[in-house]
Amino acid sequence: MLDFLMLALLAAAFLAALGYVWACEHLVKRPNHSHEPHS
Amino acid sequence: MTWQGWTQFAIFALLSTAVVKPLGGYIERSLDRRSSLARLGAPVENLFYRLAGVEPEQEQGWVEYAVALLCFHLAGIVALYALQRLQAALPLNPQHFDAVTPDLALNTAVSFATNTSWQSYAGETTLGYLTQMAGITVQSFLSAASGIAVAIALVRGFARRSASTIGNFWVDVTRITLYVLLPICVVAALFLVWQGVPQTLHSYVTATTLEGQPQPIALGPVASQEVIKLLSGDGGGFFNANSAHPFENPTPFTGVVEMLLIFLIGVALTSTFGRMVGDRRQGWALYAAMAAMFLVGAIVVYRAEAVGSSAYPSSIDQSAGPTQSGGNMEGKEVRFGVAQSALFATVSTASSDGAVNSMHDSYMPLSGLVLMANMMVDEVIVGGPGSGLFGILLFAIVAVFIAGLMIGRTPEYLGNKIEASEVKMAMLALLIVPAFILGLPAVAAVLPVGLAGLNNAGPHGFSEMLYAYTSGAATNGSAFAGLHANTPFYNLTLAVAMFAGRFLVIVPVLCIAGTLVTKGRLQPAAGAMPTHGPLFVALLIGTIVIVGGLTFFPAIALGPFAEHFAALTGATY
């Protein structure tokens, strides 16, 4: 029973890491507006 | 402090510097299969690819590279977890050890797959030979190889122009394991066996003590594990006493060689970096920054330990002499004395290795501060294999960004324009570790399950907790000792710290590699800041010290600083 709990924790951490990859990819894909003139 | 002690420091510094150029060049050639050994091993390497279905010519973008790395280590964690849980039914367990408990097995599996090697267990009373060899040792190889692979991928990001790929993870890991780690380990393991380290599958032997009592003497395949423990930046000992045990570190000679093994790949990769970016001075600049920070830390620790403690009674002679090394010898091996213990402790914490030949819990508060600070700055002072190089390159990105703000120019590094994407990812990677180093002790300090693990009160007790999570999140693995960490609370929270400290840093590093590799090279401009000279080295060190200082000063003030000043008034904990 505890083995399933440990492996579930590991699976959750792995999925979170994959989500983190996705988040990083989207963070750097966002267009950079920092040099656009301000209104 | 004695001339013998300083001589050890000088010999170690010279040896560490001497290996940078030849080994750095060898690693660079091995990655492209240009070294003699790599050409010789090509059929074996190709066989691995065929068996695994890997196309070695097919390179990956950063997302593919990161996902491959995560899947690879997930499989490693599951395999090591299973080995520990099933070891009672598996062969090569002559002491008939039971299965490791689930929370400890998870902690240990994550620990070795993340190149941390935090150990909440004593190896000689917990793990069978199969678990040590097929589990711990294999993960030490693979976690080191993947760390080096990530660093190389980042360097390709700096070196390549207008490309879309950063290498092939499977190819990088295979070549680093076969041509870099394995050959060094074979030679060094034979050296350790010559010096007296056991390498056997026989069960433990029983000796009779002078009092006539039976005394089991633990043995095992120690030499083969000892070498990769040091070379990989892993540090997880076969025995609980780690490199203080005479079967792991039998002589002062092995002590020096073990320290060199810890630094070997970390220092050499600066040269590999310089070669790959086409300007070797860039590599030497990084090495100079690492060496300067390391030497300052080592001297502070040596001095603090050599002076000793004013809290000892005056009847205790702490002066150095022909029959004793003097200073604070609590928790230290008489064989190694103060100088080699202080040097080993600094090497181990600066390098992400975490092996110990003395008990850090017994160090003077200021020494404990340096050992913690070495880890808190993301282990960029040489650091682990690969993690040290990519760590200091993250700080280099921040340093050129700050320099760009000061002089009003777009930041550049190695002909690459450093833009918002790279700075955001660098800051993410640099801030994720402090979040866990500071957040988790804060939780442990207010929960009864956290406080129950302490063996000391006051600031020293807080240092024990802070050190444990620092060691975990910075993937060092050394223990301050004094903390009873084999509880579900500490096993699971430390596993979280290690997982986050490794993979949540590696992902943004690969992301930076992926964004840099697509860019074209900027033409050198007269106003660009040179990054190979003393000015940049000073700026880089300043950035590391200021970021580290601002982030961790409050926590350090509550731990080692408070203990240091309390000790001046005679209070001990």
The DSSP string of B343-366 is HHHHHHHHTT----SB-GGGS-HH
Could you tell me if B334 and B323 are in contact, meaning their C-beta atoms sit under 8 angstroms apart?
Answer: no
CA distance B484 to B464: 10
Q: Which pLDDT does position A33 carry in this prediction?
A: 52
Q: Is the pLDDT of residue A35 over 70?
A: no
Which of B420, B496, B511 comes nearest A32 by C-beta?
Answer: B420
B106 touches chain A (CB under 8 A): yes
Cα A27 off chain centre by:
9
Using N-to-C axis directions, what is the helix angle for B222-231 and B182-195, rounded to 10°?
A: 130
Element (H, E) at B146: helix B138-159
Q: Is the pLDDT of residue A34 over 70?
A: no
Tell how strand B416-417 and strand B205-208 pair up. Answer: unpaired
- Residue among B70, B84, B489, B512 with most chain A CBs within 10 A, to mutate: B70
Residues 6 or more apart whose CB falls under 8 angstroms from that of B526 comprise none
Q: Is the pLDDT of residue B78 over 50?
A: yes
CB contact under 8 A, A13 and B420: no
- What's the pLDDT tens digit per position in B263-313? 999 999 999 999 999 999 999 999 999 999 999 999 999 999 999 887 778
What chain B residue is nearest to A11 in terms of C-alpha separation?
B74
Mean per-residue pLDDT, B231-254:
92
CB contact under 8 A, B421 and A13: no
A3: chain B residues, CB-CB within 8 Å: 85, 102
A8 touches chain B (CB under 8 A): no
Element (H, E) at B187: helix B182-195
Q: Is the pLDDT of residue B242 over 80?
A: yes
Using N-to-C axis directions, what is the helix angle for B252-276 and B280-307, rounded to 10°?
A: 150
Could you tell me if B118 and B107 are in contact, meaning their C-beta atoms sit under 8 angstroms apart?
Answer: yes
B74: chain A residues, CB-CB within 8 Å: 10, 14
Mean per-residue pLDDT, B360-389:
90
B417 touches chain A (CB under 8 A): no
Q: Which pLDDT does position A38 carry in this prediction?
A: 45
B323 vs B76, more confident: B76
A9 touches chain B (CB under 8 A): yes
CB contact under 8 A, A20 and B424: no
Q: Is the pLDDT of residue B85 over 80?
A: yes
Q: Is the pLDDT of residue B45 over 50?
A: yes
Task: Give the least confident one: A23-37, B104-118, B135-149.
Answer: A23-37
A2: chain B residues, CB-CB within 8 Å: 102-103
- Confidence at A32, pLDDT banded by 50, 70, 90: low
Could you tell me if B552 and B437 are in contact, meaning their C-beta atoms sit under 8 angstroms apart?
Answer: yes
What chain B residue is nearest to A22 in terms of C-alpha separation?
B63
Mean per-residue pLDDT, B14-39:
94
A12 touches chain B (CB under 8 A): no
CA distance B100 to B423: 43
Distance from CA of A21 to the nearest CA of B (A): 6
Percent of chain B with pLDDT over 90: 77
The DSSP string of B233-300 is T----SSTTGGGSTTTS-SHHHHHHHHHHHHHHHHHHHHHHHHHTT-HHHHHHHHHHHHHHHHHHHHH
Closest C-alpha to B531, from B351, B207, B162, B274 = B274
Mean per-residue pLDDT, B160-180:
94
Q: Which pLDDT does position A36 carry in this prediction?
A: 47
Q: Is the pLDDT of residue B137 over 80?
A: yes
B70 touches chain A (CB under 8 A): yes
Q: Is the pLDDT of residue B409 over 90?
A: no
CB contact under 8 A, A7 and B81: yes
B68: chain A residues, CB-CB within 8 Å: none
- What's the pLDDT tens digit per position in B455-498? 888 899 999 999 999 999 999 988 887 889 899 999 999 999 99
CB contact under 8 A, A28 and B492: no
- What's the pLDDT tens digit per position in B502-533? 999 999 999 999 999 998 877 777 777 888 99
Which of B67, B70, B85 comes nearest A3 by C-beta?
Answer: B85
Distance from CA of A38 to the nearest CA of B (A): 18
In the structure encoding, which two tokens stand for residue B329, read together?
């010898």
Mean per-residue pLDDT, B398-403:
93
Q: How many CB atoms lie within 10 A of CB B571?
A: 13
Distance from CA of A13 to the nearest CA of B (A): 8
Q: Is the pLDDT of residue B545 over 50?
A: yes
CB contact under 8 A, B74 and A27: no
Q: Is the pLDDT of residue B36 over 70?
A: yes
Q: Which pLDDT does position A21 carry in this prediction?
A: 96
Which of A14, A18, A28 comes nearest B511 by C-beta?
Answer: A28
Buried b (16+ CB within 10 A) or exposed e, B355-394: bbbbbbbbbbbbbbbbbbbbbbbbbbbbbbbbbbbbbbbb
The DSSP string of B10-79 is HHHHHHHHHHHHHHHHHHHHHHTT-SHHHHHTHHHHHHHHHHHT--TT--B-HHHHHHHHHHHHHHHHHH
Q: Which pLDDT does position B569 carry in this prediction?
A: 84
CB contact under 8 A, B507 and A17: yes
- Confidence at B322, pLDDT banded by 50, 70, 90: confident
- Confidence at B352, pLDDT banded by 50, 70, 90: confident
B63 touches chain A (CB under 8 A): yes
Mean per-residue pLDDT, B47-76:
96
Could you tell me if B149 and B172 are in contact, meaning their C-beta atoms sit under 8 angstroms apart?
Answer: yes
- Residue among B111, B492, B511 with most chain A CBs within 10 A, to mutate: B511
Distance from CA of A10 to the nearest CA of B (A): 8
CA distance B529 to B550: 26
Q: Is the pLDDT of residue A39 over 50?
A: no
CA distance B544 to B512: 19
Task: For B424-493, give the secondary structure using H, E and C.
Answer: HHHHHHHHHHHHHHHHHHHHHHHCHHHHCCECCCHHHHHHHHHHHHHHHHCCCCCCCCCECCCCHHHHHH
Report helix, strand or coil for B94.
coil
CB contact under 8 A, B428 and A24: yes
A5 touches chain B (CB under 8 A): yes
Buried b (16+ CB within 10 A) or exposed e, B299-308: bbbbbbbbbb
Q: Which pLDDT does position B525 carry in this prediction?
A: 73
Q: Is the pLDDT of residue B415 over 80?
A: yes
CB contact under 8 A, B421 and A25: no
Q: Which pLDDT does position A31 carry in this prediction?
A: 57
Report helix, strand or coil for B401.
helix
CB contact under 8 A, A21 and B499: no
Distance from CA of B220 to the nearest CA of A (A): 28
Report helix, strand or coil for B4.
helix
